[in-house]
């Protein structure tokens, strides 16, 4: 008997289902059973789709029995962050204002997953409207880190990261506006990719900050990340920013060695985190540079002189766009309404009762930054600084093929440790936000563990639409290190949920 089903890669599972070595029903059933056991402890799901998942799996098995050729994700369970619409399935974005909402359509990525014969298993917990770095801003529940249940899984896509780490699903999707895929991936010891802006259609992704939002995959290996990204990328006429430049990634290319590859290291950015940078993160970063030198890459010193302004820039642009996008929650067409006798009172009461504190804070901040007299000083100025930040990245990536930098200043922090200090929470995004503003692709990969057994991730940043290069660089690391193959105790059945 080989490894248990839930420890297999998505690639191996899809192959087994396509060749008939395993049935989609068996595979789906195994992951659903794991989630039955661990999801209640971890709080990973807001809505599970066990029944429809098994129905979908049976349909895939019937098609195979008829001799049909199956897609690249045949029978592979995939979990979705709860801001991705599935027709008829509750989609709340972790917000009370959308309690009970069932979208009347599927997101583009959902159509693509179904076309690839993946099986959608549920909607994962997240910070309300994807605003947060710990998933503590969900209006519904806390999600726990599978490596230490007292710690946060990161955010905002914390449920999607934790469910893959805990082997409840081999793959999941999240969304990344300022780091919401990469940071939870690092905290949970899995891969998390923010594709190039424009690589994946956002049709059916609930909008937060439209000039930044990207849907991105979580997986437990570089190859599985590539497999999922290949399934969802490409042009869709319903998102005008989506581009045909985004092409499927060749798994063969990921196996090429790094001889001749130029890895850019923007070392000065480490100083931006100051005292906040954990020694374990710095040590992992330095040892990865040595590992890459040994692997044949040449290390190039680069600089990102405006990256230090990224947080200030982001916390003007993202709330400004959010305040506009979230104007649609007015109690008229969907979601929850608070009745009042006049229209304006109904709007105000509905939004006041339906949004949580962090969302209100960002709406207020964004409205302020866009209001008369402040637009030029705040929003417009931030957009100009954004131009400088993007140019920094394109310059650095002209001298190198990919950049290596940390993704988080510390490993996962404790639940409630930072939830009372919004600015402290924002500052922890220092390494993830610059690439978001630049619109370039960025990947968080599992690199090591600290002394307390918490995962440490590192980040690769690539040229626009060169996700393949980053994944090849991550794959080379994976070949020499075991961080990606470790499994948290809670994911093993005989651990009985012990911490």
Active site residue 360: no
Least distance to another protein from the beta carbon of 74, Å? 28
Is 29 within 8 Å of 13 (Cβ atoms)?
A: no
**Which two structure tokens, joined as six digits, stand for 477?**
């690391």
438 is a contact residue toward another protein (CB under 8 A) = yes
To another protein, the closest distance from the beta carbon of 312 in angstroms equals 4
381 interacts with another protein by CB under 8 A: yes
Select from 105, 111, 289, 487 the one that contacts another protein (CB under 8 A). 105
Q: Please, which residue, 423 or 451, has the CB nearer to another protein?
A: 423
Q: Is 315 in the site for another protein (CB under 8 A)?
A: yes
Q: Is 237 in the site for another protein (CB under 8 A)?
A: yes
Residues in region 8-67 near another protein by CB under 8 A: none
| Dihedral angle over CA of 280, 171, 356, 88, nearest 10 | 180
Q: Can residue 429 be called a binding residue for another protein (CB under 8 A)?
A: no
Determine, following the binding rule CB under 8 A, whether residue 439 of this chain makes contact with another protein. yes
Any contact of residue 140 with another protein (CB under 8 A)?
Answer: no
Four-point Cα dihedral 336, 337, 338, 341, nearest 10: 180
Distances in whole angstroms, Cα of residue 483 to Cα of each of 232, 413, 453: 26, 19, 11
Q: How far are the Cα atoms of 190, 297, 448 from residue 265, in angstroms, in the given order?
A: 22, 12, 19
Q: Per CB under 8 A, does 449 bind another protein?
A: no
Q: Can you give the length of the chain in residues?
A: 499
Instruction: Compute CA distances 248 → 72, 228, 234, 239, 243, whole Å.
Output: 12, 9, 8, 19, 13
State yes or no: residue 111 binds another protein (CB under 8 A).
no
Start-to-end CA span in the chain (Å): 28
CB of 158 to another protein, least distance (A): 23
**Which three-class secondary structure string do you get for 395-455?**
HHHHHCCEEEEECCCCCCCECCCCCCCHHHHHHCCCCCHHHHHHCCCEEEEEEEECCCCCE
Active-site residue, from 175, 180, 428, 432: 180
Span near another protein by CB under 8 A; candidates 23-31, 310-318, 467-475, 487-495? 310-318
The interface with another protein within residues 238-277 (CB under 8 A) comprises 238, 240-243
Contact with another protein (CB under 8 A): which of 147, 197, 218, 431? 197
**Closer to another protein by Cβ: residue 265 or 440:** 440
Q: How far apart are CB 355 and another protein at their closest, in Å?
A: 7
Nearer of residues 467 and 478 to another protein, judged by Cβ: 467
The helix or strand, by DSSP H or E, that contains position 265, with its residue range, turns out to be: strand 262-265
Looking at residues 70 to 89 of the shown chain, list those that interact with another protein (rule: CB under 8 A): 87-88
Q: How many residues bind another protein, per CB under 8 A?
A: 73
- Restricting to residues 386-425, name those near another protein by CB under 8 A: 386-388, 390, 422-423
Q: In what order do the strands lie in the sheet with 455-462?
A: 45-48, 119-124, 77-81, 171-176, 214-219, 191-194, 442-449, 455-462, 402-406, 262-265, 298-301
Of the residues 156, 157, 221, 323, which is catalytic?
Answer: 156
Q: Which stretch binds another protein (CB under 8 A): 6-14, 59-67, 219-227, 237-245?
A: 237-245
Q: Which two tokens stand for residue 441?
A: 């692709």
Region 319-378 residues binding another protein, contact defined as CB under 8 A: 323, 327, 330-337, 339-349, 351-353, 355, 360-361, 363-365, 367-368, 371, 377-378
- CA 441 – CA 452 distance, rounded (Å): 31
In the annotation, is 156 catalytic? yes
**What are the residue numbers of the active site?**
81, 156, 180
């Amino acid at each position: 008997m080989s490894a248990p089903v839930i420890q297999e890669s998505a690639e191996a599972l899809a192959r087994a289902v396509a060749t008939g070595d395993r049935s989609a029903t068996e595979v789906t059933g195994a992951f659903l059973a794991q989630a039955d056991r661990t999801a209640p402890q971890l709080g990973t799901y807001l809505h599970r789709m066990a029944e429809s998942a098994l129905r979908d799996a049976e349909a895939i098995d019937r098609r195979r029995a008829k001799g049909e050729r199956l897609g690249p994700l045949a029978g592979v369970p995939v979990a979705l962050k709860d801001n991705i619409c599935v027709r008829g399935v509750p989609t709340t974005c972790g917000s009370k204002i959308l309690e009970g909402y069932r979208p009347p359509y599927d997101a583009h990525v959902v159509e693509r997953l179904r076309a690839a014969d993946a099986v959608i298993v549920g909607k994962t917990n997240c910070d309300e409207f994807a605003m947060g770095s710990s998933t503590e801003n969900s209006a519904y529940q806390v999600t726990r880190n599978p490596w230490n249940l007292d710690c946060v899984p990161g955010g905002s896509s914390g449920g999607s990261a934790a469910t893959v780490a805990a082997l409840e699903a081999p793959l999941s999707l999240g969304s990344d506006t300022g780091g919401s895929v990469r940071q939870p991936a690092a905290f949970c010891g899995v891969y998390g990719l923010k594709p190039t802006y424009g690589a994946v259609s956002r049709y059916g992704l609930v909008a937060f900050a439209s000039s930044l939002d990207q849907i991105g995959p979580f997986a437990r290996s570089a190859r599985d990340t590539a497999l999922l990204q290949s399934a969802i990328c490409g042009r869709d006429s319903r998102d005008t920013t989506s581009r045909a430049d985004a092409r499927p990634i060749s798994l063969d290319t990921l196996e090429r060695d790094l001889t001749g590859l130029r890895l850019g290291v923007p070392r000065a950015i480490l100083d931006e985190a100051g005292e906040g940078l954990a020694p374990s993160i710095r040590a992992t970063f330095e040892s990865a540079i040595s590992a890459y030198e040994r692997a044949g890459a040449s290390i190039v010193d680069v600089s990102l002189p405006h990256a230090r302004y990224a947080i200030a820039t982001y916390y003007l642009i993202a709330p400004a766009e959010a305040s506009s996008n979230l104007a649609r929650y007015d109690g008229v067409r969907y979601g929850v309404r608070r009745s009042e006798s006049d229209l304006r009172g109904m709007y105000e009461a509905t939004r006041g009762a339906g949004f949580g504190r962090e969302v209100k804070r960002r709406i207020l901040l964004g409205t302020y930054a866009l209001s008369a007299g402040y637009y030029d000083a705040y929003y417009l100025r931030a957009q100009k600084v954004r131009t400088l930040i993007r140019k920094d990245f394109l310059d650095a990536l002209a001298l190198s093929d990919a950049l290596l930098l940390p993704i988080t200043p510390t490993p996962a922090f404790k639940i409630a440790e930072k939830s009372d200090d919004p600015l402290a929470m924002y500052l922890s995004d220092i390494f993830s936000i610059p690439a978001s503003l630049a619109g370039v692709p960025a990947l968080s990969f599992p690199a090591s563990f600290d002394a307390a057994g918490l995962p440490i991730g590192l980040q690769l940043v690539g040229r626009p639409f060169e996700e393949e290069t980053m994944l090849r660089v991550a794959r080379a690391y994976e070949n020499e290190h075991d961080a990606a193959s470790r499994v948290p105790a809670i994911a093993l059945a005989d651990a009985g949920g012990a911490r």
